[in-house]
Each structure stands twice: as C-alpha cells, then as structure tokens.
C-alpha cells in the first residue's frame, strides 16, 4: 500500500472526481488509518478495526467512483457488488460469503499480474526459445529457410538419405575397405548437415527476432485448461475431500494433464507462451499467501444499493432478500472466517463502504446491528450545473477529451467552446429536474446526442475542425428539450 497522506489522497481523487469533498476526506482518513495501523505493535494492531463508511446520496454523484479510484490508488483488492443479488442463507440465490470468495479471486488476479510483470523478461526469453524450436521442426524449417532465401547446398533430408545408403552399402559388402570408405563419405555429410542446421537456425532466429515471421502459422503444445476447481467450488454439495475423488472419476488413467496441440500465428503463440512460461516461474503458494494477506489487511468491499434491502416488515414468512441479507452481512462485516478455494480468510480488517440513495427509506431503517457496523456516514451533494460543466472538461479522462481523442483517430479535430459546455451542462440539469435524477450519467446521453452526426460522418470530415458551441448544441437538442414527451425517451 502506498504511503500517502490524506491531502495527497484527496488531491489524487480530485483528478477524476468533481466535488464531494466530505466523502473524499472520509475515505482519505480511512486509508490513512490503515497505514497507521500497520505501524502499531502486533497486539494493538489486532484490536484496531476499520471504521466502515455509509455513503448517502442520489445516483450518479460519484459514490462508486470514489471507492473505485481509492482502491486503485493504493493498489488494494477491491470488489464492487450490489447487495440486491443476495438472499438469506438456505434460499435460492447467492449467499453473502461469496463476496469474500470474489474478493479473493480479485486479489489473486492482482498479485498474479504483479508477479508476471516481475518475470516478464525471463518468460519472453523462454517463450522465444520455444517458438524457435517449433520453427526448426523438419516440417517447418526447410520451408521457412526457402522463404528467407537461405541457399542450402545439401538439404538435411538428402544428407540423411546419403548417409543411410552408405551404411547399407557397408553392411552388404561386409569388407573393411568398404567400411572405411563409407566412413570417409559419411563424415563430410555429417559435417555439412551440422553446418546447414546451424546456418538455418541462425537465419530463422534472426528473422524471428526481427518480427519477420509473425504471421507464420505453427503448431504448439499448451497446458490443459484448469477450470474444474472453480466449477466445483460453487457446487455446495461437494466438500473439498470429495472434489479430489470426483476429479479422478472424471478422467481416465493417463488422460488427465495431457497437453493439447494448437495451430496459431507466431504473434499469437508468443503471448500464450509468455504467459505459460511466466506461470512456471511463479510460486503459486506465495501468490495465494500474499493474496490472503492483502485481502485480510487491505481489502475493500463496496456494497452498492444497500437501501434496496431495507423494507417494511413482512406479516407472513421471512424477508429473505431484505432483513435476512442484512443479518447475514452482520458477522462478515464485524469479523468472521470464510472458507474459499484458497483457504480460510478472516474479514476483521476489511474496509466496507456501503452506498445508497435512500429515497424511500432512511439509514435508520437498517437493522440496528448493521447500522452500528457503519459508524461513519457521509452525505454526498446533488450535482449542480457548475458541477456538470466541470465534469465535462476538468477530470483527467473527461468526456470531452474522450470524444476528441476518438475522433482524432479519423483526423477530425473536435473543439468544445465555453458556451457549448454551458449549454450541455444546462440541458443536463434541466433533464434531471424534469425526469429521474440520474446525476452525471445524464451527460453521457447529452454529449452523445450532440456529437452523433459528427461521429457518423467522421470519414467525410477528415482534416476538418468541428466547433461545438452553444448554437451547435441548441441545433441538436433544442427541439428535443421543447417536446416534453420526446425528451423523456431521447434524453
């Protein structure tokens, strides 16, 4: 985890998210406390638990983006999940413990990528050697050598044939002189064969290094896919002890683990073989151990739409998708041990961030025990017209920049004027007020409608500059905004 101060964390979040200073400060302090906790003595460190956060605000104001950018900033295992997917334990649907299993999968992928990057150079060298060996196979080498203009005085097949004939002649005659003569004839042939092979190998290796053989199709052997474990994990009736027996019953003796042959171009084979060689250089046990450590110490779970599992008490039967899910979340959020395919994972120090609009319900409608697990509450502000304009042009990956870069690939220069940005921000605010307030997501619809004609005719506008000003925006959106019924479906 990067050692960042709260101020540095907020500044980094400001690069991508407009406004919402209170929410940014809350997550910055939460991250800093995790770093501080790692510097405590071991006995005290175990007692310091994270202060989980409940974000309250309408959709599209940045709740999810804050959590996602925060996790990426500190390179921590992160999982965004909608709690409406879960049901109470014992009923059809996903149980809440699958959150930790999914988080572990994300952590393993994260650590795996880091380890692969560390051994990338070694893996590329080994993959290059394997590809060269495939290219030097007798059925490929002669054809490739001919295509490269390599003039062999005596092909290896001819050398082998002459050597074989000489040996047969020696056997039939059975004379010492003939034997000596045959040996004298085969020695130059063998020397010629070795020289030809060395020359051919050198030329093919040079061509491979210079990427002259990228489109050449070769046959390679790859390791078999290993997706059975992940399939067995979600079959709740199978225990870990039973899974080993099932594997043996699925495969006949000698069949399991057999490599398979694939035909593909050299450029595609290189990517596959580099990854395969990297896997061989990585210690899987260390990857799993590091992944468990990161989940337990630095994991972040974002529970979206938590207000959707708040409802009125049912008169008959259990509320398996509402209060039942809340009660199942309690032990995991508080701290429990969850069994995953990688082993047991403790959840005591995972940071939980819950979010919801709470239009129909209040945070106080959550069951009291769950409320106590989220002591920090942050209310996010609705976006104003000024915020919409800032979102259009200020973030590092602003929408206007995305469209400029997309159209630049077809040599079309797109320029957004200040009054054009004002017009789009104004229309976005008006649409959110008239209909459902979807926050900044409304800007995606607005800007797409504005540049739709330019995107469609980009091939005819190559070399030209298109200026998006207020008049341009008005011409595309004015009629739609004036028609109440039409705007409801278009924007």
| Amino acid 309: pLDDT | 83
| Amino acid 403: pLDDT | 92
Alpha-helical regions (H) of 228-308: 228-233, 240-250, 266-281, 284-298
Identify the CA nearest to 354 among candidates 333, 383, 323. 333
Query: CA 332 to CA 151: how far, in whole Å?
Result: 71
Torsion of CA 417, 419, 425, 431, to 10 degrees: -120
Interval 331-351: pLDDT, tens: 999 889 999 999 999 999 999
- Alpha-carbon distances, residue 20 vs 29, 60, 173, 377 (angstroms): 15, 12, 97, 13
Query: CA 58 to CA 379: how far, in whole Å?
Result: 9
State the pairing for strand pair 465-468/413-416: parallel
Which residues, in sequence order, are bridge partners of residue 351? Answer: 300
Say whether pLDDT at 468 is over 60.
yes
Specify the residue for token string 């995305």: 402
Which residues, 6 or more positions from 156, have their beta carbon under 8 angstroms from its beta carbon? 138, 141, 142, 193, 196, 197
| Amino acid 101: pLDDT | 93
What structural domains does the chain harbor?
6-116+289-379 (3.40.50.300), 123-220 (no CATH), 385-490 (1.10.8.60)
Say whether pLDDT at 43 is over 90.
no
Selected residue with higher pLDDT from 426 and 228? 426
| Amino acid 225: pLDDT | 55
What is the model's pTM?
0.73
What is the DSSP annotation of 430-490? HHHHHS---TTHHHHHHHHHHSHHHHHTGGGSTT-EEEE-HHHHHHHHHHHHH-HHHHHHH
Of 127-131, 233-237, 376-380, the one with minimum mean pLDDT is 233-237
Identify the CA nearest to 63 among candidates 277, 303, 233. 303
Run of H or E including 164:
helix 156-173
| Amino acid 157: pLDDT | 45
Say whether pLDDT at 71 is over 90.
no
Run of H or E including 57:
none
Interval 364-402: pLDDT, tens: 888 888 888 898 999 888 888 999 999 998 888 889 999
Overall average pLDDT of the 260-285 stretch: 84
φ and ψ of 263, to 5 deg: -105, 130
Interval 164-213: pLDDT, tens: 444 454 444 444 444 444 444 444 444 446 776 677 777 778 777 877 77
Interval 49-59: pLDDT, tens: 888 999 998 88
Selected residue with higher pLDDT from 255 and 95? 95
């Amino acid at each position: 985890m990067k050692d960042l101060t709260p101020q540095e964390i907020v500044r980094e979040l400001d690069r991508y998210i407009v406004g919402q200073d209170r929410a940014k400060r809350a997550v910055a302090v939460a991250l800093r406390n995790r770093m501080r906790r790692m510097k405590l003595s071991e006995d005290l460190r175990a007692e310091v638990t994270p202060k989980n956060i409940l974000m309250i605000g309408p959709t599209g104001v940045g709740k999810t983006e804050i959590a996602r950018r925060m996790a990426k900033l500190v390179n921590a295992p992160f999982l965004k999940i909608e709690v409406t997917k879960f049901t109470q334990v014992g009923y059809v649907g996903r149980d809440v413990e699958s959150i930790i299993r999914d988080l572990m999968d994300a952590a393993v992928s994260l650590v795996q990528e880091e380890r692969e990057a560390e051994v990338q150079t070694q893996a590329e060298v080994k993959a290059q050697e394997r590809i060269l060996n495939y290219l030097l196979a007798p059925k490929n080498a002669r054809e490739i050598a001919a295509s490269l203009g390599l003039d062999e005085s005596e092909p290896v097949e001819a050398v082998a044939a002459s050597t074989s004939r000489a040996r047969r002649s020696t056997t039939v005659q059975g004379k010492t002189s003939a034997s000596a003569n045959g040996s004298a004839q085969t020695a130059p042939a063998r020397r010629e064969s070795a020289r030809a092979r060395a020359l051919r190998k050198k030329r093919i290796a040079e061509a491979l290094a210079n990427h002259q053989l990228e489109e050449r199709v070769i046959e390679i052997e790859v390791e078999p896919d290993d997706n059975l474990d992940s399939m067995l994990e979600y079959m709740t009736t199978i225990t870990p002890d039973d899974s080993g027996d099932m594997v043996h019953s699925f495969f006949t003796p000698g069949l399991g683990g057999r490599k398979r042959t694939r035909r593909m171009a050299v450029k595609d084979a290189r990517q596959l073989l580099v990854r395969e060689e990297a896997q061989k250089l990585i210690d899987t046990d260390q990857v799993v151990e590091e992944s468990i450590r990161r989940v337990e110490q630095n994991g972040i779970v974002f529970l979206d739409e938590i207000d959707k599992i708040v409802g009125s008490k049912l008169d008959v039967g259990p509320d398996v998708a509402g209060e039942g899910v809340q009660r199942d979340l309690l032990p995991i959020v508080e701290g429990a041990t969850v069994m995953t395919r990688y082993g047991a994972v403790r959840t005591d120090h995972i940071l939980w961030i819950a979010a919801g609009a709470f239009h129909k319900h209040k945070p106080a409608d959550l069951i009291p025990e769950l409320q106590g697990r989220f002591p920090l509450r942050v209310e996010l502000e609705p976006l104003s017209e000024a915020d919409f304009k800032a979102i259009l042009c200020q973030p590092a990956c602003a929408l206007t920049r995305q469209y400029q870069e997309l159209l630049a690939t077809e040599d079309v220069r797109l320029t957004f004027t200040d009054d054009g940005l004002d017009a789009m921000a104004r229309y976005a605010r008006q649409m959110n007020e008239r209909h459902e307030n979807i926050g900044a997501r409304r800007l995606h619809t607005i800007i797409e409608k504005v540049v739709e004609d330019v995107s469609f005719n980009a091939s005819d506008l190559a070399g030209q500059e298109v200026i998006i000003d207020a008049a341009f925006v008005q011409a595309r959106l004015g009629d739609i905004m004036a028609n109440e019924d039409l705007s409801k479906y278009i924007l």
